[in-house]
Chain A
Amino acid sequence: EVQLVESGGGLVQPGGSLRLSCVASGFTFRSYWMHWVRQAPGKGLVWVSCIKNDGTSTSYADSVKGRFTISRDNAKNTLYLQMNSLRVEDTAVYYCVLPWGNWGQGTPVTVSS
């Protein structure tokens, strides 16, 4: 059974940083592209970033480009999202996704002073 377990969310001040993690199990992690998708409170789903199975290619939404960095450790079956220069508008639940049928439970990020 595929499992994706996110962690690392929390409350941070504007301009601060957080690193999200997603531990994967139940499938061959190193074989798949992985994505992050977020959802602001009461709003819709927004794609954030993705990374190739071997980590050699990444892509970002314009809204996070230059501030967020996606990475992975295939030896640890773990996906990361390093979030710097956080803004109030980054407040959301962040989901780790094995495209597109498997989603984690999400980890909430709140950016507020």
Chain B
Amino acid sequence: EIVLTQSPGTLSLSPGERATLSCRASQSVSSNYLAWYQQKPGRAPRLLISGASSRATGTPDRFSGSGSGTDFTLTISRLEPEDFAVYYCQQYGSSPESFGQGTKLEIK
């Protein structure tokens, strides 16, 4: 099973700042099948990025994904108030599909 480790656990930033979230895999993610999700309290996760770098329909272009192999990054170029949430990475190239433990992005 591929274990995904996200860092940091909590990120405290202000609106307008740049956010960089990391996801490291215990082994190479097949075909870069790596997704990022945003989740707000009481809501289902929302897919932001798939295939490591492809924005899902409706994802604002301030969100970008990068990386390959075992190291992946989600970057939010300029934080908007609605971006403060928990973010998860997921690999779906190998069974069992697995999720990282999440990064909480909070307002500083």
Q: Which residues from chain A sit less than 8 Å from chain B, CB to CB?
A: 35, 44-47, 50, 59, 61, 95, 99-101, 103-106
Contact = CB atoms under 8 A, between A and B. Distances in A.
Interface residues of B, number: 21
B44 A47 contact: no
Contacts of B35: 100
Interface stretch (B13-21, B65-73, B94-102): B94-102
Given A100-B50, A103-B45, A46 B95 contact: no
Contacts of A35: 97
Contacts, number: 41
Nearest to B88: A45
A45 B95 contact: no
Given A45-B99, A47-B99, A103 B44 contact: yes
Given A59-B95, A99-B92, A100-B92, A45 B45 contact: yes
Contacts of B99: 44-47
Given A44-B88, A45-B88, A99-B92, A104 B44 contact: yes
